[in-house]
Amino acid sequence: MKRRESPWVKAMAIAVVRPIMAAVTRREWSGQQHIPREGGVILAANHLSMSDPLTVAHFVYVAGRRWPTFTAKEGVFRIPVVGAVARKTGQIPVSRGSADAVKALREAERALVEDGASVIFYPEGTCTRDPDLWPMAAKTGVARLALSTGVPVVPIAHWGEQHLMPYGTSKVRLFPRKRVQMVAGPPVDLAKYREQPMTATVLRAATADIMAAITGLQAELRGEEPPAEIYDPKQARRARLDPAEGAGAERTGDDDTARA
């Protein structure tokens, strides 16, 4: 198995991040037994806040006993020091262009299949825009990668980071310590899709199953019923531009924003 990371940079990152997470969060973790201790695995999580990559990484490393590898925006790799650390810890850059996105998926595939890495994805592609912070419509890249590689997809849901660093603000509310709940579920059963042609319909259906698993886990953490229809930001934009045409279309059960 290829070593993707620098051991001393990993040690440095651990030494910095773990004490910070312990100081600012009151963690409640469960389901870590569903994260395999070795071999390639996709960890698919909801996205609440710009702070949750740290809380998810903390959970995966400490509870799941796996090194967290993220697909991160290319701009992160251009930040002095931060970019160097990202590269040395095996993170995967993603650019906006479609060709670059395909390249990133191929690198993620190599990490999963050749290196046996645990790769964390946010299928939504960005922090949720759902008014009540439920997972929203997702892109189909995670489903495509899961079906092409055959590696398991373990859903992860979390709740609480919105109190630490709400989306849309740069303000961090460190104290008092924030309660952060994190749970991993059993691998999503995608067997019925693996023998089918990888069409857009199949990818959307597999994506819906992945997001349903994440949403169900988050509903358990919140003790609430999730909405019957998933929030679709694309349809929400249409509704704002043309209320007559888009009325009632902000939530949908058909993820028409899902793209590879």
Half-sphere exposure of 170 (CA within 13 A, CB side): 0
pLDDT at 255: 37
Mean pLDDT (whole number) for 50-56: 93
pLDDT at 258: 33
CA 225/CA 223 separation, integer angstroms: 7
| Count of all residues that appear for the chain in the document | 260
pLDDT > 50? residue 238: yes
Q: What is the pLDDT of residues 210-237, one digit of tens each?
A: 999 999 999 999 999 999 999 998 888 8
Q: What is the CA radius of gyration of the chain?
A: 18
CA 7/CA 83 separation, integer angstroms: 16
DSSP-assigned letter for residue 136: B
Q: What is the pLDDT of residues 11-47, one digit of tens each?
A: 989 999 999 999 999 999 999 999 999 999 999 999 9
pLDDT > 50? residue 93: yes
The fold adopted by the segment(s) 7-226 is: Glycerol-3-phosphate (1)-acyltransferase (3.40.1130)
Q: How confident is the model at residue 96 (pLDDT cuts 50, 70, 90)?
A: low
Mean of pLDDT over the chain: 88
